[in-house]
Amino acid sequence: MNRSLALLTLAQASYWSAVLIGVSLSPLIGAQLTPIEGLATLPYTLVSLSALICTYSFSQLVQHTGWRAGFRLGAAAGLLAALVSVWAIALGNFYLFCAASILMGLYQASAAFYRLAALDSVPATRKGSAVGWVLSGSLIAALLGPTLAIYAGQWLPNILYAGPYLLAAGFGLLALLLISALPVIPRAAPQPASSNEQKGFLRRTSYWQGTINTAFGQFAMLLMMIVAPLSMHQHQHYPTSIGLSVIGWHLIGMFLPSFVSGKLLDKFSAPTMIYTGFGVLAGSALIALAGTTTLHYYLSLFLLGIGWNFLYVAGTWQYNSQLEAAEKGRAQGLTELLIALATALGAALGGVLLSLADWQNLNGGLLVTLIVMVVLNLRFPAAALRLSRS
C-alpha cells in the first residue's frame, strides 16, 4: 500500500468514527433541544441535505485545486461542526446545532470522494484494490467507534452528549492532519472544448451503468437499513438493543468485504462483481422472506451489507473506467450527486414505505427490483454496441 492510499484509508476511518457519533446521537439531541415537537430529526436531515447541495460544487472545486486542498476544507468543516455541536449542546440551542449539522454535510460530501482520489493514486491494475482499501477504513470505525463514544460520554458528565462530540472533533482534527500529510495527487484541469465535447461522458453507457448500479446499491442499502430496526421494534416488538446489534453486524457486512472485494474486481471484472452483488442482495431478501426471528434479521442485514459493498466498489470502477482526466470533475460530481440523492431518498422513504407494507413485503419488492436491475445491466452492452456503430 502506497502512502497516499494509507492516509486516505485512515482519513476514511476518522470520518466514519465521527459520523457514527452523529448518526447515533443527533436524533436524541434534536429531541432534547427542539422547541417544536416533530423537528427532532431535522438536524440529521440537514446533514444529508447539505451533502446533497455541496457534492457537485465540491467536485468542481477539487478539479481546479486538487484533492488535498479540497479534503482539507472538508475535514476542517467536520472539525468545526463537532466543536459547534458541543457549544450548541452546552447552550441548549437547537438552531446552533442545526447550523453545525449543515457544516457536517460539507464534510460528508468531501469524504465521499476519498475513494475516487484513491483511484488517481494507483496504477490501472490496482484500482479495484484501492477502492477496497479506502472503504476498509470504515470497518475500523464500525468496530471501535461505538466503544470510544461510550468512553467519551464520561468526559463532560454535566453536559449530556457533549463528550462524544468532543471526541468527534478529535477525529476531525486527526483527519485534517492526515489529509495535510497527503502527497499531491494531480487532477487534470478542464480543457477548453465545445459544449458537446465537455459532456461526452453523458453518451457513454459504461458511465451510466456504473452510476445507476452504485446509486441503486446505496438506495437499497439505506432503505432496508432504516426499515429493519423500525420493523423489529414496531412490528416484532424486539428490544432496541437487539436492533442496534443487528445494525452493528450490518455495518461489518458493509465494510469487512473491502479487504477482498477490490482484489476480486481486479482479478475478475466489474460485471461479475455487479451480478454477484445482485445475487447477495437477493439472498438477503429471501432470508427476510423466510422468517422474522432475530437470526433472520441478523443474516439478512449482514448479507445486505455485503451486497452493497460489491455494488459500490464495482460500480465506482465502472463509471470511472472510461472517463478522461479533464472531464472527471463534471462526471464524478454528477454521479456523486445522484448517489447522494439516492441516499436521501432511501432515508426519507423508509418510514413511509413501512407504514404501507411490512418488512417481508418490502423484501419481496426488493427481489422484483433486482430482476429489473439484472435485465437493465444485460441490455447495457447491447446499447454500447449500437452506440459504437452509430
Look-up: residue for cell 427476510? Answer: 288
Look-up: residue for cell 446533497? Answer: 52
Helix (H/G/I), strand (E/B), else coil: 331: helix
Find out whether 152 and 24 touch, Cβ atoms under 8 Å. no
Task: Provide the H-helix boundaries in 158-204.
Answer: 162-180, 195-198
Cell of 340: 447522494
Q: Cα torsion for 68, 69, 72, 78, to the nearest 10°?
A: -120
Long-range pairs for 84-90: beta carbons < 8 A, 24 or more residues apart: 85/29, 85/165, 85/168, 86/159, 86/162, 86/165, 86/166, 86/169, 88/33, 89/29, 89/33, 89/159, 89/160, 89/161, 89/162, 89/165, 90/159, 90/162
How far is residue 185's CA from residue 127's CA, in Å, rounded to a whole number? Answer: 15
The predicted pLDDT at position 387 comes to: 43
Other Cβ atoms closer than 10 A to 151: 12
pLDDT digits (tens, 9 = 90+) for 74-114: 999 999 999 999 999 999 999 999 999 999 999 999 998 89
How far is residue 77's CA from residue 270's CA, in Å, rounded to a whole number? Answer: 34
How far is residue 289's CA from residue 351's CA, in Å, rounded to a whole number? Answer: 19
Block mean pLDDT (10 aa), the chain, length 390: 86 87 74 76 80 84 85 95 94 93 92 84 74 81 73 80 90 95 68 54 83 93 80 71 74 85 83 94 95 91 94 88 75 85 77 78 93 90 47
Element (H, E) at 245: helix 240-255
Find out whether 70 and 57 touch, Cβ atoms under 8 Å. no
The predicted pLDDT at position 1 comes to: 62
How far is residue 102's CA from residue 109's CA, in Å, rounded to a whole number? Answer: 11
| Identity of the residue numbered 217 | G
The predicted pLDDT at position 112 comes to: 85
Domain locations in the chain as residue ranges: 1-185, 201-390
The predicted pLDDT at position 320 comes to: 80
Task: Collect all residues with Cβ–Cβ distance below 8 Å to 6 and sequence separation of at least 6.
Answer: none
CATH number assigned to the domain covering 1-185: 1.20.1250.20
Q: What angle do CA 25, 28, 32 make, to 5 degrees?
A: 135
How far is residue 82's CA from residue 141's CA, in Å, rounded to a whole number? Answer: 17
| Identity of the residue numbered 298 | Y
The predicted pLDDT at position 199 comes to: 64
* Nearest to 249, CA basis, from 303, 330, 329: 303
User: Does CATH place domain 201-390 in 1.20.1250.20?
Assistant: yes
The predicted pLDDT at position 74 comes to: 94
The predicted pLDDT at position 140 comes to: 79
Cell of 4: 497516499
Are 1-185 and 201-390 in the same CATH fold?
yes
